[in-house]
């Protein structure tokens, strides 16, 4: 099993690249943002609880997303590997993920960290807001808060995995195909070890 964390700030291209990577490497895509949006659409109690936080650009509690990931791992026993997108977002989530994977005798193979300037992130998110229907994409105050949450709570995730030499920085600006091939070559290097 080979498991990947696609890491980076909001708007760094994680969703776009995830779609291509799961196809190329036969991985199961686990995006906590997508799972939460499905819960909101289905009007579950979890979705209702998460919505007010997501609408402000705040993170939802660790135990909520860790519980979702735990169920998703259990529901996919035949997976060749998982691609985590938007998770983990705090050190506590990272520790919890490592524990869940260890219980399944596996681990994170690599953390691919997309590097994109703040200016480009805001531009992309506002652009996405025109078509995504996501209320957290079309308001610059909410976008700024999401970037602040990333800087204050999520950058530590890269530090955490750096201690295990698992983090690779990849330039997240350029064409979708250029970024995809840079990501693929980092994965291939590790798969051939």
Note the residues at the interface with ligand AMP (CB under 6 A): 10, 32-33, 36, 53-54, 57-60, 65, 86-87, 89, 93, 136, 146
Decide if 78 contacts 125 (C-beta within 8 A). no
Closest CB to ligand AMP among 110 and 137? 137
Closest CB to ligand AMP among 31 and 170? 31
Which residue number has the CB closest to ligand AMP?
Answer: 33
CB of 87 to ligand AMP, least distance (A): 4
CB of 137 to ligand AMP, least distance (A): 9
- Distance (Å, whole) CA 50 – CA 55: 9
Closest CB to ligand AMP among 52 and 181? 52
- Distance (Å, whole) CA 159 – CA 162: 5
What is the phi/psi pair of residue 4, to 5°? -125, 140
CB of 24 to ligand AMP, least distance (A): 21
Helix, strand, coil abundance in the chain, percent, nearest 5: 60, 15, 25
Closest CB to ligand AMP among 59 and 101? 59
CB of 54 to ligand AMP, least distance (A): 4
| Distance, CA of 180 to chain centre | 16
Quote the strand ranges of 14-81, DSSP E: 28-31
């Amino acid at each position: 099993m080979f498991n990947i964390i696609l890491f980076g700030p909001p708007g760094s291209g994680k969703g776009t690249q995830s779609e291509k990577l799961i196809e190329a490497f036969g991985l199961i895509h686990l995006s906590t943002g997508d799972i939460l949006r499905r819960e909101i659409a289905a009007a579950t109690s979890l979705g209702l609880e998460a919505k007010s936080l997501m609408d402000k650009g705040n993170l939802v509690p660790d135990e909520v997303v860790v519980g979702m990931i735990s169920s998703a791992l259990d529901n996919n026993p035949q997976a060749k590997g998982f691609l985590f997108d938007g998770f983990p977002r705090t050190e506590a989530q990272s520790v919890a993920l490592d524990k869940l994977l260890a219980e399944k005798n596996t681990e994170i193979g690599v953390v691919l960290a997309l590097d994109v300037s703040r200016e480009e992130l805001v531009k992309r998110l506002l652009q996405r807001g025109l078509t995504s229907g996501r209320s957290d994409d079309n308001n610059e105050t909410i976008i700024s808060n999401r970037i602040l949450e990333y800087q204050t709570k999520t950058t530590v995730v890269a530090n955490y995995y750096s201690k295990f030499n698992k983090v690779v920085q990849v330039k997240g600006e350029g064409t979708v195909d250029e970024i995809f091939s840079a990501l693929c070559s980092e994965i291939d290097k590790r798969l051939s070890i």
